[in-house]
Amino acid sequence: MANSVYIDGKLVPADQATVSVFDHGLLYGDGVFEGIRVYGGNVFLLAEHVDRLYESARSIRLEIPISNQQMVSAVNETVQANGIDDGYVRLVVTRGSGTLGLDIRKTSNPIVIIIADTITLYPPEIYERGMELVTAGTIRNHPGALNPRIKSLNYLNNILAKIEGTDAGCVEALMLNHNGEVAECTGDNVFIIKDGLIRTPSTEAGILEGITRNTVIDLAREAGHEVQETTLVQEDIYTADECFLTGTAAEVIAVVSLDGRTIGDGTPGPITRDLLARFEALTRGK
Ligand code: PMP
């Protein structure tokens, strides 16, 4: 466990890092967050994650009490204080405490929390053999209700789909949008490869615009691949040559079946493996 946690402007021992039961982050899931990786003591794509945090906050009319630059410094300070070399940072900003009721004008003092810790990854055999997925019956939040672009503290939509995945013996689940199109997984973005062409749902599908997704799109294009951000349906995944997921925690991970149907030859494909190697080179200098 982390030994010190940044909360409300200072680093305190982890067991003293507490928030009020009147905090609207707890009462209503009213707040925003980010998950970031640390590789070799460096916080990977910190500026991108901090920018997304401030964008999420803006979308929900939450004013973060410190500047973007102060946030960057606080994250680095917390990582160093915990001696994290390879690990994970969780950044959380809650609406702060208020009276019972939804009115944000009756809350004060948004709380900034930074936890730097180790990370639990998917089991290594899933990276070697590839992941099996099921499609969840729970659809992704309608963008007109709670836009998936906002990384808010209300993750019940994803949790309900994840339960369906774990009930089916899978570690992830595919989520469709309100039009029945492929959106993303509960905590990862999805890509397919067909006839050498890499395709992933566009942000209009109602997804979180993953930072790993964008990094992998850049890596793929640098490697000479064509990448299309487009509409995908389940059938495109069933008939793909390769499929993989991207995410801060997952990095790049092959998917070898969806709903019991084998994708490609049922093993992690060559382009997926190449992109994972390029991602590892970028993050770990391998
Ligand atoms: N989609 C969802 C719903 C997520 O929560 C995440 C982050 N865990 C992702 C996609 C991947 O985004 P990133 O690459 O920025 O971690």
Q: Report the pLDDT value the prediction gives residue 266, as an integer from 0 to 100.
A: 98
Q: Residue 182: how many CA atoms within 13 Å on its side-chain side?
A: 29
pLDDT of residue 285: 84
Determine the pLDDT at residue 120.
Answer: 86
Burial class (CB in 10 A: 0-12, 13-18, 19+), 196: exposed
Q: Which atom of ligand 1 is nearest to the CA of 212?
A: 14
Nearest CA to ligand 1 atom 10: 188
Catalogue all structural domains in the chain, each as residue range(s) with its CATH number: 4-117 (3.30.470.10), 124-284 (3.20.10.10)
Residue ranges, the chain, pLDDT below 50? none
Tell me how far apart the alpha carbons of residues 165 and 168 are, in angstroms, rounded to a whole number.
5
The one-character DSSP state at 77 is H
In what helix (H) or strand (E) does residue 48 lie, and over which residues does it extend? helix 46-59
**pLDDT 10s digits, 62-94:** 999 999 999 999 999 999 999 999 999 999 999
Please name every residue paired with 1 in a beta bridge, in sequence order, or none if there are none.
Answer: none
Residue nearest to atom 12 of ligand 1 (CA): 210
Atom number of ligand 1 nearest to Cα 248:
16
Per-residue confidence (pLDDT) for residue 286, from 0 to 100? 63
Enter the tokens of residue 148. Answer: 């998936």
What does the pLDDT read at residue 57? 98
Q: What is the pLDDT of residues 162-194, one digit of tens each?
A: 999 999 999 999 999 999 999 999 999 999 999
Whose C-alpha lies nearest to ligand 1, atom 13? 210
User: Which tokens in the block code for residue 96?
Assistant: 């702060």
82, β-bridge pairs: none
Give the atom of ligand 1 at the shortest distance from the alpha carbon of 186.
3
Q: How far is Cα 255 from Cα 240, in angstroms, rounded to an integer?
A: 11
Tell me the DSSP string of 214-235.
HHHHHHHHHTT--EEEE---HH
Residue 151 annotated in active site: yes
pTM, to two decimals: 0.97
Report how far residue 216's alpha carbon sits from residue 207's, in angstroms, rounded to the nearest whole number.
Answer: 16
Residue 2 is predicted with a pLDDT of 76
Tell me the pairing of strands 251-258 and 131-135.
parallel
CA 187 / ligand 1 centre spacing (Å): 5
Task: Say how many residues make up the chain.
Answer: 286
Helix-helix angle 68-81:46-59, to 10 degrees: 130
C-alpha to C-alpha distance for 242 and 63, rounded to whole angstroms: 42
